Amino acid sequence: MPSENICIDIQVACDNSELPNAEQLQHWADAALASYNKPFELTIRMVSSEESQQLNHQYRGKDKPTNVLSFPFEVPEGIELDLLGDLVVCADVVEHEAKQQNKPLFAHWAHMIIHGCLHLLGFDHINEDDANEMEAIEIKLLAELGISNPYIASDD
């Protein structure tokens, strides 16, 4: 059952044929955010490699597409707003990684949405301790969705 506290604006800016639907995106965002028991608004934009590469270059100085970019919204002091931020997910990269890592496509999508939501909440993986903390949360949330640990290689 979707959380009434988590409102998602979905934008499709690519022509990939296998994209998650609104219910799936909502389910995965709920998994990442519902335990905070507060309202959140976020945008999930599904993009092409070209748009991902342009944004990754502009905001991170990396001239290549990437799986997910997180843009947290910084609420000005004194303003009450539930806007968490934006996730930009490159459908081409997610699809390529899923095939390369021998993972079900939508399991990888779920991981990317949860990973991005955690970034919006302030989690990061710059140093090893932070990475371990973030990965542990991802593994737990994905397990609750019936998805295996994404950090263990599949032998299939």
Mean pLDDT, residues 10-35:
96
- What span, in angstroms and rounded, lies between the C-alpha atoms of 15 and 94? 14
Average pLDDT estimate for 118-127: 92
Assign 112 to helix, strand or coil.
Answer: helix
In the chain, what are the domain boundaries? Answer: 6-144
State the average pLDDT for the chain: 93
Q: How far is CA 38 from the centre of its chain?
A: 19
The CATH-assigned architecture of domain 6-144 is 3-Layer(aba) Sandwich (3.40)
- Dihedral in degrees, nearest 10, Cα atoms 145, 146, 149, 153: -130
pLDDT tens digits, 55-97: 999 999 999 999 999 999 987 888 888 899 999 999 999 999 9
Residue 154 pLDDT exceeds 70: no
SS3 of residue 8 by DSSP = strand
CB 8 within 8 A of CB 29: yes
Residue 1 confidence class, pLDDT cut points 50, 70, 90: very low
The tally of CA atoms less than 13 A away on the side-chain side of residue 133 is: 11
Strands 68-72 and 83-90: antiparallel
> If you ran DSSP here, which 8-state letter would residue 83 be given?
E
pLDDT band at 45 (very low <50, low <70, confident <90, very high): very high
Indicate if the pLDDT at residue 2 is higher than 70. no
